[in-house]
């Protein structure tokens, strides 16, 4: 089938939806492919693609989490639930007429370059496209760490964690202090018989609200007032110190890094339950045995359920040539974290982990890609030159001045203001 | 469309939610819905006659009262309300609609719509005797000549008082006075914003600017400036500033709706979706 005048968008989560919308808005025909039966990606709760659990709420507040041209309803709270988020995406798709352009239950199995066009194989049908936007998400392929020893109990990855019922009455060890790990540790504290929480290092557990406002808005007030990083660090440390005090006093590990060097953890309840003895903090695991784990400090815990909240790997199983997205080692290093190093007609949307909300950035990634592809259709020579120029800065990172800890989840960490400034600049170059 | 990516103030100091009055008149049909945004001190009420006329022509319409106006909330906070808050209100109204509307903004509401069009792909935009977002020097000059005291009051932060003969040219005096008496307070920040030029450029949506021949508030030169800045079509109609209430209101609505029909081809709302049929997988 020949749709070489169109663009294929892989995935109908927030990044796929916004890419589809931006392309159609700029007059570029586009088709979406979604392997689940409904849209929403990670937020399509209960679908095999979804990794949210019953209690999931946003950890960034509405203003930077929503699409700037289609805000969440004022009736939503500061931090909406996953059900509200799904409803929001449904309304976005209905409003812009996106649903009709998406094939559901459509699994993309192969994406292969033919010159600068693409053969996209979907459910055994191969379709020729002029360009491809990959928005398959990076929070679905579980990363499971290996430890010595044989554990006799049940092992679960947070990918398969859906509700607190899975923890009720168990002796639980939660591994990992990402936002998911902290959520699950808290739910275990409320439901399990005993809860242990193993983390590799100490972290800053940030409150969701300070001074009566969502804390990320306070952080952005400082940014809007152009307060330098060092002062912002001091202000955050002082706020935590005066409200919560030192984390070490609760038996938690002392953070081994400065503020903004790891992806922010926003969880007001974890420290509360530690202080009530319902969560026992533990360092990294040394080895497992039949009915528990031994930790690097020599202590051990008797548990019958281990939940690995150890994150996800970015994978692109359909790419015929992984180097098209520099994905051979699972850590693509792409210009603006979006551009293929090999083809001006292949773009990746969504491989970002911002220190704020995600979908305002999804919107601007989508606009940048759509504007570029519009230029490519009208003036391919200039688009190619711009693409080459963009790829000359592949190593540019957007850290807001901080130095991120090396980890599989930090290679795509971004500081939202830095990143959006770069996207804005690119948009200006495309438009000029 | 200008691509203003960094919206620092919006992230750090988001607009507080309030109840918004939206007056809807819905009819069946394929026409895109109209979303009306009123001007200085007005409210959703000023579009009531047009909503009935539009319905008769097969157009659903929704008239919004901006916060602090009509029956919307935020009355007590009007003194602190900014044009960014109005922008928020219009986007809230838009996001409640099942498909992208044609945005119709009058006067100060036209300025709000110009700002919304910079960020949202409406089916089309119609600006009725608008305050240009790029600045309104001729209008300010005109006020300095004709209503110097009101200009001074407005500059000092009081609501600019609009009289019946500022707004209407062809209405029976009773009716004109009745309408004018319903015009209420305005935010000083919104009034000051009319003095401050904003960078706006051509937008993705088709735009029609409508000027009124007997407009005693917004100067003809500013109406032309507005159309030029947005690369919009320009149409002149008879009547005074409040074209949706004045004596020629039916004719003016016909001009607007005839243009909307021509500017909005049938089919899906986003242009790219009108170019090829949806894919049919086996």
**pLDDT tens digits, A222-281:** 988 989 888 988 888 888 888 888 888 888 888 888 877 888 888 989 999 999 999 999
Query: Helix, strand, coil % (nearest 5) of chain A?
Result: 35, 25, 45
Closest CA of chain B from A298, distance in Å: 46
pLDDT at residue A407 is higher than 80: no
C-alpha dihedral, B98 to B104 to B106 to B111, nearest 10°:
80
Q: In the Cβ-directed half-sphere of A204, how many Cα atoms lie within 13 Å? A: 20
Give tens-digit pLDDT for A363-399.
Answer: 999 999 999 999 999 999 999 999 999 999 888 888 8
If you ran DSSP here, which 8-state letter would residue A51 be given?
-
Q: Using one digit for the tens of pLDDT, what is the confidence trace for B133-180?
A: 999 999 999 999 999 999 999 999 999 999 999 999 999 999 999 999
Residues in B closer than 8 angstroms to A74, CB to CB, are 17-18, 20, 92
Which pLDDT band holds residue A331 (cuts at 50, 70, 90)? confident
* Cβ atoms of residues A285 and A198 within 8 Å: yes
A155 pLDDT more than 70: yes
Percentage of chain B modeled with pLDDT above 70: 99
Residues of chain A positioned with their CB less than 8 A from the CB of B273:
24, 29, 97, 100-101
Nearest-10 crossing angle of helices B108-117, B188-195: 70
For A27, which residue in chain B has the nearest alpha carbon? B272
* Chain A contact present for B199, CB below 8 A: no
Q: What's the rounded Cα separation, in Å, for the pair B194 and B107?
A: 10
Q: Tell me, what's the pLDDT at B63?
A: 98
Closest A-chain CA to B96:
A73
pLDDT score of A14 more than 80? yes
* pLDDT of res. B1: 62
CB contact under 8 A, B273 and A31: no
Under DSSP, is residue A293 helix (H, G, I), strand (E, B) or coil? strand
Residue of A5, A6, A70 for testing the chain B interface, max B β-carbons within 10 Å:
A70
Write down the residue that tokens 């609609």 correspond to: B97
Q: Answer yes or no: is pLDDT of A99 > 90.
A: yes
Distance CA B251, CA B254 (A): 5
Beta strand spans in A65-136 (E):
102-103, 108-114, 117-122, 125-134
Helices (H), B37-103: 48-56, 83-95
Q: What is the dihedral of CA B140, B143, B145, B151, to 10 degrees?
A: -100
pLDDT at B260 over 90: yes
Characterize the bridge pairing of strands A213-214 and A209-210. Answer: antiparallel
Instruction: Indicate the residue of B7, B8, B12 with minimum beta-carbon distance to A68.
Output: B7
- Segment among A155-169, A321-335, B90-104 with least mean pLDDT: A321-335
Q: Residue B199: what pLDDT? A: 85
Residue B270: predicted pLDDT = 95
Question: How many other CB atoms sit within 10 Å of the CB of residue B209?
Answer: 26
Band (pLDDT 50/70/90 cuts) for residue B198 is confident
Tell me, rounded to whole angstroms, the distance of Cα B136 from its chain centroid. Answer: 16
Least confident of A86-90, A398-402, A427-431, B183-187: A398-402
Record the tokens describing residue A24, joined without a space.
């159609």
Q: Which of B58, B63, B33 is nearest to B46 (CA)?
A: B63
pLDDT exceeds 70 at position A131: yes
User: What per-residue confidence (pLDDT) applies to A141?
Assistant: 87
Q: Which residues pair with A118 in a beta bridge?
A: A113, A129
Average pLDDT, chain B: 94
Distance CA B238, CA B129 (A): 12
Q: What is the mean pLDDT of residues B58-86?
A: 96
Query: Does residue B276 belong to the interface with chain A, where contact is any CB pair within 8 Å?
Result: yes
Q: Which of A28, A33, A64, A97 to mutate to test the interface with B (most CBs of B within 10 A)?
A: A97
**CB burial string B93-105: b at 16+ within 10 A, e below:** bbbbbeebbbbbb
Q: Is the dihedral of CA A367, A370, A373, A375 positive or negative?
A: negative
What is the percent of chain A with per-residue pLDDT over 90, rounded to a whole number?
A: 72
Q: How far apart are CA A6 and CA A28, in angstroms?
A: 7
Nearest chain A residue (CA) to B87: A69
CA angle B214, B90, B275 (to 5 degrees): 95
Nearest to A24 among B3, B99, B270 (CB): B270
CA distance B182 to chain A (A): 28
Evaluate whether B186 touches B160 at the Cβ level (below 8 Å): yes
B30-50 pLDDT per residue, tens: 999 999 999 999 999 999 999
Q: Which of A138-152, A393-407, B83-97, B176-190 has the lowest mean pLDDT?
A: A393-407
Average pLDDT for B4-30: 94
What pLDDT score was predicted for residue B68?
96
pLDDT at A412: 83
pLDDT tens digits, one per residue of A269-295 = 999 999 999 999 999 999 999 999 999
What is the rounded distance in angstroms from the CA atom of residue A417 to the CA atom of residue A394? Answer: 19
pLDDT for residue B249 is more than 70: yes
What are the chain A neighbours of B118 within 8 Å (beta carbons)?
none
Token pair belonging to A318:
């359909």
ipTM: 0.95
- Residue A381 structure tokens: 């020579």
Q: What is the mean pLDDT of residues A13-25?
A: 97
Q: Do A97 and B8 touch (CB under 8 A)?
A: no
Query: CA neighbours within 13 Å on the CB side: how many for B260?
Result: 28
């Amino acid at each position: 089938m020949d749709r070489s005048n169109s663009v294929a968008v892989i995935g109908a989560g927030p990044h796929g939806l916004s890419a589809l919308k931006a392309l159609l808005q700029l007059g570029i025909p586009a088709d979406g492919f979604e392997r689940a039966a409904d849209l929403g990606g990670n937020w399509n709760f209960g679908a095999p693609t979804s990794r949210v659990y019953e209690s999931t709420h946003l950890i960034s507040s509405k203003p930077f989490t929503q699409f700037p041209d289609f805000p969440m309803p004022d009736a939503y709270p500061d931090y909406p639930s996953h059900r509200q988020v799904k409803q929001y995406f449904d309304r976005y798709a209905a409003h812009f007429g996106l649903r009709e352009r998406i094939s559901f239950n459509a699994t993309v199995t192969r994406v292969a370059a033919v010159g600068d066009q693409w053969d996209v194989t979907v459910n055994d049908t191969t379709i020729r496209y002029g360009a491809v936007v990959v928005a398959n998400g990076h929070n679905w392929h579980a990363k499971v760490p290996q430890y010595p020893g044989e554990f006799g109990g049940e092992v679960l990855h947070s990918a398969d964690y859906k509700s607190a019922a899975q923890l009720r009455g168990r002796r639980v060890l939660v591994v990992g202090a990402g936002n998911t790990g902290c959520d699950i540790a808290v739910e275990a504290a409320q439901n399990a018989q005993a809860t242990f929480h193993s983390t590799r290092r100490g972290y800053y557990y940030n409150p969701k609200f300070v001074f009566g406002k969502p804390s990320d808005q306070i952080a952005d007030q400082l940014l809007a007032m152009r307060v330098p990083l060092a002062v912002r660090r001091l202000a955050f440390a002082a706020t935590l110190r005066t409200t919560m005090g030192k984390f070490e006093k609760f038996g938690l590990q002392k953070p081994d890094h400065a503020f903004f060097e790891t992806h922010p953890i926003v969880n007001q309840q974890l420290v509360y339950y530690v202080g009530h003895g319902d969560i026992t903090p533990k360092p990294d695991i040394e080895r497992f045995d039949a009915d528990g784990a031994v930790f690097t400090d020599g202590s051990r815990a008797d548990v019958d359920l281990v939940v690995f909240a150890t994150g996800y790997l970015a994978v692109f199983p359909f790419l015929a040539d992984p180097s098209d997205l520099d994905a051979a080692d699972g850590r693509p290093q792409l210009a603006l974290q979006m551009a293929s190093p090999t083809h001006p007609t292949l773009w990746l949307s969504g491989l970002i982990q911002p220190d704020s909300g995600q979908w305002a950035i999804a919107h601007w990634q989508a606009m940048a890609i759509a504007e570029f592809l519009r230029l490519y259709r009208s003036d391919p020579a200039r688009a190619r030159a711009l693409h080459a120029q963009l790829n000359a800065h592949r190593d540019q990172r957007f850290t807001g001045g901080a130095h991120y800890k090396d980890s599989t989840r930090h290679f795509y960490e971004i500081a939202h203001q830095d990143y959006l400034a770069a996207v804005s600049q690119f948009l200006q170059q495309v438009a000029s | 469309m200008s691509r203003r990516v960094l919206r620092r103030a919006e992230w750090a100091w988001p607009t507080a939610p309030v109840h918004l009055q939206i007056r809807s008149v819905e009819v069946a049909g394929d026409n895109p819905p109209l979303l009306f945004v009123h001007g200085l001190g007005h409210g959703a009420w000023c579009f009531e006659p047009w909503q009935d006329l539009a319905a008769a022509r097969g157009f659903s319409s929704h008239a919004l009262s901006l916060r602090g106006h009509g029956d919307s909330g935020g009355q007590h906070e009007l003194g602190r309300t900014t044009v960014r808050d109005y922008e928020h209100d219009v986007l809230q109204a838009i996001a409640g609609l099942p498909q992208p509307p044609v945005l119709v903004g009058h006067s100060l509401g036209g300025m709000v719509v110009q700002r919304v069009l910079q960020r949202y792909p409406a089916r089309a935009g119609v600006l009725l005797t608008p305050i240009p977002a790029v600045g309104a020097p001729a209008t300010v000059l005109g006020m300095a000549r004709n209503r110097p005291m009101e200009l001074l009051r407005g500059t000092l932060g009081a609501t600019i008082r609009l009289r019946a003969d500022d707004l209407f040219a062809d209405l029976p005096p009773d009716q004109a006075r009745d309408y004018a008496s319903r015009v209420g307070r305005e935010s000083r920040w919104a009034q000051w914003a009319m003095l401050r030029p904003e960078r706006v450029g051509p937008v993705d949506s088709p735009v029609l600017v409508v000027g009124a021949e007997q407009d005693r508030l917004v100067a003809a030169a500013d109406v032309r400036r507005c159309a030029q800045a947005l690369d919009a079509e320009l149409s002149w109609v008879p009547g005074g500033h409040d074209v949706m209430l004045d004596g020629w209101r039916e004719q003016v609505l016909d001009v607007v709706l005839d243009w909307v029909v021509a500017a909005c081809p049938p089919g899906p709302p986003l242009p790219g979706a009108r170019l090829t049929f949806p894919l049919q997988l086996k």
